[in-house]
Amino acid sequence: MQRLMTSFWLSVLFMLLFTGLQAQILDWTTPYEKSKGMETPRYEETLRFCKQLAYNSDDIHYEAFGYSPQGRELPLLIFNSDGKFTPEEVRASGKVVVMVQAAIHPGEPAGKDAGLMLFRDYFIDGKDQEKLDNICVLFVPIFNVDGHERWSKYNRINQKGPIETGFRANAQNLNLNRDYLKADSPEMRQWLKMFHTWLPDFFIDTHTTNGGDYEYPITYHMEIYGNMEEKLTRWQQEDFIPSMERYMELKQMSIFPYVQSREWHNPESGLRSGVGSPMTSTGYVALMNRPGLLIETHMLKPYPVRVESTYELLKFSLEYVSERSLTLRSLVLSADKKTQSRLFRRRAFPLNFQMNYNDSTLVRFKGIEYEKVLSELTGKEWFRYGKAKQEFVRPYFNVSEPSDEVKLPEAYFIPPEWTEVIERLQWHGVEFFVMEDATFQLFESYEFTDVEWDRRPFESRIRLNIKAFEPIEENRFLPAGSIYIPIEQVRAPLIAHLLEPHANNSLLSWGFFNSIFEQKEYAEIYVMEPMALEMIKKDPDLKERFEQFKADNPELANNHWALMNWFYKQSPYYDRLINKYPVLKLNRVKKYGVKHDLKSF
């Protein structure tokens, strides 16, 4: 028996030694490193390396969080020194969750290559792994996997390396970094499910710029301009950003906020930074009270410089968040609690922001020399950059002010026929109730008096622009099966951006309610002509209003049907729901229906 036990423990020891030896024998050089910084790996190479990481470490788990339209896995690596890899286990352990995302734009792959090296160094080589003990890291090495495999050396005209990259859009020609709210792409729908299941406390998205030339190899953006809870904003401004800037300067990697020229491609017009759109990654996570760091390496810097600077900024961010995990978690939970309270609705909620161009500060900006040149082709002036570094003093516009605000209701209501909208609420993790009974009562809503559509599609949709609208209050019918959305939940800001029609990226603005503007019933001219005369007899002022309508719309002078249709709109036969928003609001709500099971999303 003793001999058997000895044999057993010898075999166990042998297996442990063999496994450790195997990990040392395996080639842990990333494809990027093998190419000496000239190339980035294809999708299959990337997945092989990810799975090799997971197979050889108890602290790494690989899974697919979904599949692309072309059937590729959407890869997710989970790093946790406790060996726990479910949201429930991680939350129970008290750890903070950090999500790092790369290659949403596959032509900008520095985050993918930096991440593979960084996590290899932490979890295979054991370099500073203990510095991540307080966090669990989610790493998406390639988000846009189909675009990644639209492989070419011609995908990024204004970028120095790598030799070949993927394409900006997915297989459906959608830019995933414009899809966070409308969620048209299968990839985004599955990302939303993963994100809202985990609800990371800190988010990082890695990119490479388009735009002007300057000295900085890397720039950053965080939502510090008025669209986040005050204490979280202050933590980013006063703690994280100054520490990050000091660290990068010590690494001799100059860093600056991600800026654009006030006037497109005019470096003399000044610099600007402001509130990010919620259709993009960091703007979206800000609605969930989650700080987001947007990394933008500079396109004209050599690829190894872009990868190395991303590596260092990722390393700093992960270790900083781990070191201050309790502080960050406390701030996030406090912001969530405030968002779910009645106090959140007492103030007007800012939906849209605009830049205040009357308020700026002068900053020193490490640029590149340039000259103004007259184009031989167009006769217009353009800016040609040289090679020498030059420091400029530029006005910096970074004050954003609310341009549209709304008083949030206690609840929103949506009739059951608006299935596309309700599905999206599910994908965004919004909590709602399904009403068991019909109701007819007084609701608040909106009536649109002037709208127009873009002439060309943007991200596959013809966008709607609201020129004029009025808040209304009237009795409306809601059938059983309608949904009731209480606003006192952590996703309140997200709900407002989705459902308040004048939000810049509302579902209405993306065209989800276009049919409410279509007239479906109409009158024949031979019916309307005598009826119009009778209407004028009963209401003489109607003729004056008709003349004013003709004066305001001279293009309709020869359109007999359109002129008669004006009278039809004044008659009781006209559809009373046309141009009226079907999403309803109440400020005093009784409990309706049965709570929807979010697990089904």
Helical axes 241-250 vs 303-323, angle rounded to 10°: 130
Give the pLDDT confidence score for residue 6 in this predicted structure. Answer: 57
pLDDT tens-digit readout, 38-57: 999 999 999 999 999 999 99
CA distance 314 to 586: 45
Q: What percent of the chain has pLDDT over 70?
A: 94
For residue 507, count CB atoms less than 10 angstroms from its CB and return exposed for 0-12, middle for 13-18, buried for 19 or more. Answer: buried
100 alpha-carbon distance from chain centroid: 14
CA distance 525 to 414: 36
CA distance 337 to 327: 15
Lowest model confidence (mean pLDDT) among 24-28, 38-42, 576-580: 24-28
Give the pLDDT confidence score for residue 289 in this predicted structure. Answer: 98
pLDDT tens-digit readout, 487-535: 999 999 999 999 999 999 999 999 999 999 999 999 999 999 999 999 9
| CATH 3.40.630.10 applies to domain 22-339 | yes
CA distance 60 to 120: 10
DSSP 348: P
The model carries a pTM of 0.92
pLDDT interval class at 264 (50, 70, 90): confident
pLDDT tens-digit readout, 399-447: 999 999 999 999 999 999 999 999 999 999 999 999 999 999 999 999 9
600: pLDDT strictly greater than 80? no
Tell me what the mean pLDDT of segment 376-396 comes to. Answer: 94
Give the pLDDT confidence score for residue 18 in this predicted structure. Answer: 46
DSSP 601: -
pLDDT tens-digit readout, 460-481: 999 999 999 999 999 999 999 9
For residue 584, count CB atoms less than 10 angstroms from its CB and return exposed for 0-12, middle for 13-18, buried for 19 or more. Answer: buried
Q: Please name which of 165, 133, 167, 289 lies closest in space to residue 223, comparing C-alpha atoms.
A: 289
Give the pLDDT confidence score for residue 250 in this predicted structure. Answer: 97
pLDDT tens-digit readout, 184-214: 999 999 999 999 999 999 999 999 998 889 9
Tell me what the mean pLDDT of segment 122-149 comes to. Answer: 97
Ordered by start, the domain boundaries in the chain are: 22-339, 360-402, 403-518+579-600, 525-570
Lowest model confidence (mean pLDDT) among 5-9, 267-271, 494-498, 554-558: 5-9
22: pLDDT strictly greater than 60? no
Give the pLDDT confidence score for residue 24 in this predicted structure. Answer: 54
